[in-house]
Amino acid sequence: MTDLILAHGFDRHAPAERSAAPARDRPPAPHPGRGPAWLGLVIPLLALAGLELAVRAGAVPAHLLPPPSEVAGALHALGAAELWRHVGASVARVAIGFGLGAVLAVLVGAWVGLSPRAAALLDPSIQGLRAIPSLAWVPLLLLWMGIDEAPKITLIAIGAFFPVYLNLTAAIVHVDRRLVEVGRVHGLRGWGLVRHVFLPAALPELFTGLRGGLGLAWMFLVAAELIAATRGLGYLLSDGRETGRADIMLGAIALLGLLGKISDSALALIERRALHWHDGFGSTRA
Amino acid sequence: MTALLEVHIDRKAYAHGPVLERLALELARGEVVVLVGASGCGKSTLLRIVSGLDADYEGRVRLDGQARHGIRPDIGMVFQEPRLLPWLSVADNIAFGHGPATGANAARVRQLLEQIGLAGHASALPKQLSGGQAQRVAIARALFAQPPLLLLDEPFSAVDAFTRMKLQDLLLDVAARNRTALLLVTHDIDEAVYLGDRVLVLDRDPGRLRRAYRVTVPRPRDRRDARLAQVKSEVLTELYDSHAL
C-alpha cells in the first residue's frame, strides 16, 4: 500500500518536473501551420450575397447602394480598355511613388539609425515634417508642380516615406547588441557590420514599415486623384460623384480594395520568403 | 618559448568602481586555463578585454609576444548563449565573417561540421537546432579561422547536465584537433577541474588572482577520478575562504 502511494505520488510529480525543466536540448516542435486559405473568403462572399438580397428585397434603396451585380455590370459597361486606363494609371503612380519613398526612407533611415551624428542632425527635422498631416501638402504640391504626374507621385512618396523610415530606425536601435558583438569579434566593421548584421536583423521591422507605407501609398493616391486627375481610380470616384453614379463609385472602391489587398499580399509573400529564418511567434502564421 | 597569451591588467573600472586590479595571467600554446570566482569578480570582463571587445582598461594584452590593439581574428570567442545569426544556415554561420560557406570555405566548414557531429545539419537554420546543437555550431564558428586561442564565457551554463558533459568532451576534442588553447570562464567547479590544465580562482572587489591550481591528471580524464575530486575540494575550500560561496 505504501509502495503504491509512493509510486502514485512520484508519478504525479514526474510530468510536472519534466515540463518545468528547460527543454532546451530538444529541437522545437514543427509549426502548427495555418488554417485553410478559403476560410478568408467566407465573410466577403456572405456580405456580397447578403447585400444583393437586401437590395433586391427592397430593404435598401438601389440608387444609393446598388447591388453587387449592378456594380459589376457598371464596371463591365465601362469597357476593358477604359478600366485598364484607370487601373493602370493608379497602379503606376503607386508603384513609382511607393518605390521612391521607400528607397529614400531606407537610405535615410539606415544612415540615421547607424550614425548618432546623423540622428542628431536629421531626426528632429524629419519628425517635425512627420507632424504635418501629409494631405496638407496637396495644395502646395499642385502650385509647385502643376496638375501633372509629379505632384501625385511626390505625395505618394511622402506618404510611403514615414512608416518605412520610422520602422527602420527603430529596428536598427532594437538590433540585438549580442549579435553586433559577434560581428565585431569576427572582425566586421563599418559597412561589413551593416551588411551582415544590422540589415538582416532589421528586416522583420523593415517589412512592417514597407507594408504600412504601401497602405498609405494607396490612401494618398486616392487623395491626389480626387483633387486633380483625368484618369485613375480616384478620378473615377469623383467622376461618379459628379454624375450621381453610386455604382461607379462602389466599383472604384472595390477595385481599390482589391488592388490594395493584392499588393499587400505580394509584399507579405516576399516578406515570408525573406524571413523564413525568423523564429518569432508570428512565423508560425504570418 | 614565449607564452601564447600574456595579460597584465593594472586596472579596469566601471562607473561604480574597480572590477579588475593588478591581474597577471599567461597561457601556453594548447593549454586549457579555467577561471572561477564569485559573480561579479570580473571574469567575463577579463575575457572581453582579451578578445578586444573592451578596450577601456589600463594594462596590456600580448598574443604571441605582439601587443594587441582592437579585435583581431586570431582569437575565437564563444559566448554564454550560442548567438548564432538566425538568418544564416548552420554552414554559413560557421563561416561567418569569411563569406558564404561555399567555394574556398566549403572544405573547412565540412571538416568542422564533422568534428562537432552535425554533418547532416549544414543547411539547417538556427531555429531548428536544440540548445546543445546551437552551442556546438558556435564553437565551430569560433574555430573556423583556426585561432591559436579560444575564449569561452560560461559556454555550457544554459544546457542540461548530460548535454554539458558531452559538450565538454567535444570541446576538448575539437580544441586538441585544431591545436587551440582555451581560456574558459565557468561557475561549475566540476567543469573547471575536468577541463583545466590550470584552474585560477579570482577574488572579488576588485578582481585579482587569488590562487592557481595545476591539474596534473593526464588526459583523457575520467570524471570519477579521485584526484579530480581532490582538486575540486581544494578549489571549493579556496572559494569558501574567499567568501564567494
Domains of chain A: 81-232 (1.10.3720.10)
The reply to whether B214 falls in a domain is: yes
Q: Please tell me whether residue B22 adopts helix, strand or coil conformation.
A: strand
The reply to whether B180 falls in a domain is: yes
Domain hosting residue B168, numbered range: 5-85+148-243
CA of A188 to nearest chain B CA: how many angstroms apart? 7
| Greater pLDDT, B72 or B9 | B9
The reply to whether B232 falls in a domain is: yes
* pLDDT tens per residue across span B47-88: 999 999 998 999 999 998 888 777 877 899 999 999 999 999
A182 with B126: Cβ contact below 8 A: no
* pLDDT tens per residue across span B230-244: 999 999 999 888 877
Number of domains in chain B: 1
The reply to whether B129 falls in a domain is: no
Q: Which of B71, B81, B130 sits opposite A178 (nearest CB)?
A: B81
The reply to whether B38 falls in a domain is: yes
* pLDDT tens per residue across span B109-133: 999 999 999 999 999 999 999 999 9
CATH number of the domain residue B171 falls in: 3.40.50.300
Residues 6+ apart with CB under 8 A from B4: B27, B28, B29, B31, B63, B64, B148, B149, B181
Tell me the C-alpha distance between A286 and A268, whole Å: 8
B125 with A196: Cβ contact below 8 A: no
Q: Are B144 and B108 in contact (CB under 8 A)?
A: yes
Tell me the C-alpha distance between A139 and A206, whole Å: 31
Q: Which of B73, B126, B131 sits opposite A25 (nearest CB)?
A: B131
A22 with B79: Cβ contact below 8 A: no
The low-confidence residues of chain A, meaning pLDDT below 70, are 1-34, 282-286
Tell me the C-alpha distance between A224 and A136, whole Å: 11
* pLDDT tens per residue across span B11-31: 998 888 888 988 999 999 999
Q: Please tell me whether residue A31 adopts helix, strand or coil conformation.
A: coil
* pLDDT tens per residue across span B30-47: 999 999 988 878 888 999
The reply to whether B234 falls in a domain is: yes
Tell whether the model's pLDDT for residue B159 goes beyond 50.
Answer: yes
* Exposure letters B97-116 (e unless 16+ CB within 10 A, then b): bbeebeeebeebbebbbebb
B86 with A278: Cβ contact below 8 A: yes
The reply to whether B170 falls in a domain is: yes
Asked if B129 has any chain A CB less than 8 Å from its own CB, the reply is yes
| pLDDT band per the 50, 70, 90 thresholds, residue B205 | confident
**In terms of CA atoms, which chain B residue is nearest residue A188?**
B97
Q: What is the model's pLDDT at position B66?
A: 87
Q: What is the model's pLDDT at position A4?
A: 42
**Contact list, A26 vs chain B (CB under 8 Å):** 130
Query: Cell for A37?
Result: 486559405
Tell me the C-alpha distance between A52 and B163, whole Å: 65
Q: Poorest-confidence range of A219-228, A233-242, B92-101, B202-211?
A: B202-211
Tell me the C-alpha distance between A185 and B78, whole Å: 10
C-alpha pair distances (Å), A147 with each of A154, A230, A245: 12, 10, 25
**Contact list, B159 vs chain A (CB under 8 Å):** 24-25
The reply to whether B131 falls in a domain is: no
CA of B195 to nearest chain A CA: how many angstroms apart? 22
Tell whether the model's pLDDT for residue B177 goes beyond 60.
Answer: yes
Q: What is the model's pLDDT at position A226?
A: 87
Q: What is the model's pLDDT at position B72?
A: 74
